[in-house]
Amino acid sequence: MRAFIEEVGSQAGLSSSRVFDIKVAVSEACANAIEHVAEDQVDVSTRMFHDRLEVDVASPQPFLVPSPERSERGRHRGLGLPIMASLSDHLAVHTTPEGGTLITLTFYRPSVVREKAEDPLPPSVRRLVEQNALVSSIVDAVPVSMFVLDPDLRFQWANRALLDQLQEPYCSQGVVGATLTEVIPSLAELGASEKLRRVSKRGGRTLPKEETVRHTRGDVLHVVWQAVSLVGDKPTPPYDILLITSDITDRRRAEHGLRESEERFRSLYDGSPDAVLLTRSDGSVHSANAAARQLFQLPEKMVPETTISALVVADDRLTAARMEHNHHGHSTGELTFRRGDGATFEGEFSSHSFLSADGRQETSLFVRDITERKRTEEAARRAAESNAFRVALDDALREATDPEEIRVAAAHLLRQLFGGAEATYREILEETGIPASTEYADGRVRSRLSLPLFKGGHPVAELSVCAPQPRLWSETDMALIAETAERIWQAIERARAEKALRESEERFRTMFERHTAVMLLLDPETGAIVDGNTAAVEFYGYSKEQLTRMRIEDINMLPEAEVAAGRREAFAGQHHKFVFPHRLADSQVRWVDVYSAPMDLHGTTLLFSVIHDITERKEAEDMTARQTRIVEGINRIFREALRAPTLHALGRQCLLVAEDMTGSAFGFIGEIRGDGLLYPIALTDPDMEGAAFSQSVGHRKLPTLLVGGEHPSSMLNGNQGFFTNTPAPSLFPQGLPAGHPTLACFLGVPLQEGGRMMGMLALANRPGGYGQEDLETVTALAPAISDALSRKRAEEELRRSEERHLALAREKERLYEEQRTIAQKLQMAFIHVPARIGGLSVGHLYRSATEAARVGGDFYDVFSVREGSIAILLGDVAGHGIDAARAATLSKDAAHAFSHQSVRPEVVLRRVNELLVESLPEGFVTMFFGVLDLATGALRYGSAGHPQPLLRREAGGLDRLKLGELPLGVFSDATWTTSEATLKPGDLLFLYTDGLTEARRRGHLFGEEALAKALRRHRRSRTVDLPQNILNDVLQFSGGVLQDDVAILALKRN
């Protein structure tokens, strides 16, 4: 650089001292600046103009221009790179406002230097400048990466191709001063660094070498590189190195792609299902794939000896194909080909001309056998004609409504199909056969073809087709004519049926409109009301226009999903009778019986529904069912009153009854004692004792618990109960005990005794809340609960009194034992029943609940009442022991006596009840009384609170007779009804007392369902053995323990 400045300065006429100053200033200032750059203490910025290059060197601290002896170091640190420009005398040093130093060096282009010089440049210098400029432009334009390294392998210069490939920061700031390892680390890692240092020390060049390197962007490149030492500027080593690299990545990729393409072509060629032949310009075949050898039956060794003319049958199509191929270089079409054995086949071909690798013209020929396709196409054409005929025939037959129109339309279509053939269809009314003149098809060539149509083994019609010329009737022709005859017959039958249907629909429409029952026609899919008769309009209160714009879901009050499910069941025929609540136009709700079934009307399937108003009947049934449930609850309370050992246990059972009937989660029964305080009798769950009223309420008066509000006040006055589904905190102002469940809803009923309030029954947390029906049900149970509790309290008082008089009790026990022995003999006398009576086989059994109580209140009997009829009697007196046995004797004798006066069960039960009300001040009796006609098996019976009898059918079914009504001995004005059943031969009537089904195991009852299963299981048992077998099942279930006496009576009609 210094020599260059001296030469330029001398030619420009500058003084020696001026040139020296420029050399020192430029070299030393730049050297110092570059040193500070390496130490991150200065900033260097470059500005390129069209006529000059300016380099600014800024330092945070002021520094002096270094001494001349450091100039060599400055040149070594980067000033030796070739700069294709001349240096002007523009060198400026500035002090920045912040106290730093700024040195500006300006390099001018040769043209500018010439303009600034006092004298023009000498020719040699001008040529040097121009050559440098030309070389620089050429080197930057070539696509090969070129760069110069110093002996330390630092970049001195790089052309544009290398800078364009590099990432930041080199693409914008250049690579001068950077090491090879920093710029191209992958090339350095391949051992190139050592080779380059050897070239720098020794001179010369390296051989071109291919390497795989990684680009600074991370791409994998394939390059060829070569290094050359630059010995022109320096006489002795080490020399600078010129490194040239060429990117051959694209060439490598192209070669790899070509190899893959060749492999894919070979794989497709060998594995192609189509035959592929490669031929030369003279028509010889030089290659054939496996499919071609198989198709043409050519051994592989015969392929080179084969020509294309030997494989193709010459015809007009071949000539046309050759002309097209010669003109366009390719052709496609169909030709006839010849196999090696001489057989021919139809094939589809495609030919293409191409140049082989050695530059010769060749042709590829693809061939596919289409023989089967041709056959399929011909069959498809014939099928299409037949299908078109069928479609046209269907359309014609569908439009025709008269039998004659159907014949004419079919004959016209057959004439078109068979080219003018005349067709005749006639019905055969005789069942003896077809006239002898009729000809039958046998596949021969003939003009006339006649086919009979048989139904049920008899000919019903024939279809004759007579062609203008004799022809061969194929099997397809005969099948089509036979099918046409069948369709003509069906169309005629359909036309007649439609006529009859129209007449039937007219009759239906008249009946539909005039009938007094409500009728609706529904769309089975959407539930839309299609039509409704006059009775429907009057019943629902809508006009017909309004009604037919509605869906059945708009009337039916059940959820839409449930209504839609019922509609689907009716449409499928699974269910026909439904009971729904329907809303009328005036918002009144009526219960209806709906009988629904599918009906075809005008080609559409609808649901035809007949509707009857059963509101009054439904309300009566609901009332009866509720009363029956109340009666069952009362009976259950009475039975539990007999079993419960203590007042607390009885209260628990009464709570269970009330909870079961109302669905409550828990309950409470309390009593008001003489001190006016409320004390608990029972809680639902014993685990709640710690959180119950026994501790927190037991010493509070009821008025302090229930204050404020109309309903609590009415209950406190002893008038009526109340319920609330939103309990306010004021309902229990003293608060609930700790741990007591939160009250979501509440129902309270007073318990009265002798006209005064003796306690309260409270229930809570019924899912969905309480209603008026729940209050009425519990209110009806309250008297029975009060009576049962009062009696149990009296029993406990009596028990305590008996304990105080133990000595007297022992004497009484002795006397009682004597009486019990007598009563036992008495009871065995009134439960004796013969094994057979009047064509009936009889089985019976009595079993006491405990060994100590060998007598009880269960009794039964079978006796004649009038000629041809017998009476069946079974009863259960509440309690055990002698008193129960006496009541049983009284009940049985009364039934005997009154049955001879009247055989009507309701009369016998009413008279026995009147006697027991007068004779038994306490307790009650359940009884079944029936009269069986031995000749017909007709059974008329009545039940007074007795468990439901079972009737096992010989056919396998099991019927339950009507549930019992009120027991005897409770209400003097009670009445009963008579029901009927029939005992067919082999049927068995099974009667029992509640001790059988109420046997327990871990709190679970044996129950009626288990009894029904046991009765089915012992179907093969003898009637006389059946009671004992059933009792054995019950004892196995309960572990041999019975809660109550058991009596069983079984009667089988032989």
pLDDT tens sequence across 272-307:
888 888 898 888 888 888 888 888 888 888 888 888
Between 841 and 109, where is the model more confident?
Answer: 841
Read off φ and ψ for residue 411, nearest 5 degrees.
-65, -40
Is residue 64 scored above 50 in pLDDT?
no
- Exposure string over 71-97, b if 16+ CB within 10 A, otherwise e: bebbbebbbbbbebbbbbbebeeeeee
pTM (2 d.p.): 0.32
pLDDT class for 929, splitting at 50, 70, 90? very high
Whether residue 600 has pLDDT greater than 90: no
Q: Give the pLDDT of residue 571.
A: 87
Cα dihedral 415→419→420→422 (10° resolution): -50
For strands 145-149 and 101-108, give the pairing. unpaired
DSSP annotation of 839? T
* 246-250, 547-551, 714-718, 881-885, range with greatest mean pLDDT: 547-551
pLDDT at 631 over 60: yes
pLDDT per position as a tens digit, 684-706: 765 554 433 433 344 444 444 44
756-794 pLDDT tens trace: 888 888 888 888 889 888 888 888 888 888 888 888 888
- The 10s digit of each residue's pLDDT in 656-677 is 888 888 888 888 888 887 777 7
Q: Which of the four pLDDT bands, split at 50, 70 and 90, describes residue 65?
A: very low
Cα(977)–Cα(699) distance, rounded to whole angstroms? 50
- 656 vs 815 pLDDT, higher one: 656
Q: What is the rounded CA–CA span in Å between residue 531 and residue 602?
A: 13
Q: What's residue 831's pLDDT? A: 60
Q: How confident is the model at residue 224 (pLDDT cuts 50, 70, 90)?
A: confident
Q: What's the pLDDT score for residue 44?
A: 53
| Residues whose CB falls within 8 Å of the CB of residue 792, separated by 6 or more in sequence, listed in order | 641, 644, 646, 647, 650
Task: State residue 1026's pLDDT score.
Answer: 95
At residue 87, the pLDDT reads 37
Q: How much of the chain exceeds pLDDT 70, in percent?
A: 74
> Residue 56's pLDDT is what?
62
- 847: which residues sit within 8 A by CB, 6+ positions away? 1031, 1042, 1045, 1046, 1047
- 434 pLDDT band, cuts 50/70/90, is very low
3-state class of 337 per DSSP?
strand
**Is the CB of residue 855 less than 8 Å from the CB of residue 1049?**
no
Residue 126: its pLDDT value, please?
A: 61
What's the whole-number mean pLDDT along residues 812-835? 60
828 close to 821: Cβ distance less than 8 angstroms? no
Sign of the torsion formed by the C-alpha atoms of 707, 708, 711 and 714: positive
Confidence of residue 938 (pLDDT cuts 50, 70, 90): very high
Amino acid at 204: G
Distance between start and end Cα atoms, the chain: 141
pLDDT at 401: 78
What pLDDT score was predicted for residue 123?
66
Mean pLDDT of 335-343: 90
Give the least confident one: 167-181, 553-567, 575-589, 1032-1046: 167-181
Higher pLDDT, 255 or 558: 558
Reported as type and span, the H/E element at residue 94 is strand 86-95
Question: Of 593 and 710, which is predicted with more confidence?
Answer: 593
- Between 357 and 75, where is the model more confident? 357
Kindly report, residue by residue over 383-422, the tens digit of the pLDDT. Answer: 888 888 888 888 888 888 788 888 888 888 888 777 777 8
Identify the pLDDT of residue 1012: 93
All domains of the chain in start order, with CATH = 1-138 (no CATH), 254-301+330-372 (3.30.450.20), 402-500 (no CATH), 515-610 (3.30.450.20), 620-804 (3.30.450.40), 811-1053 (3.60.40.10)
The residues pairing with 223 across neighbouring beta strands, listed in sequence order, are 211, 247
Largest CA distance in the chain: 169
Question: What pLDDT is recorded for position 88?
Answer: 37
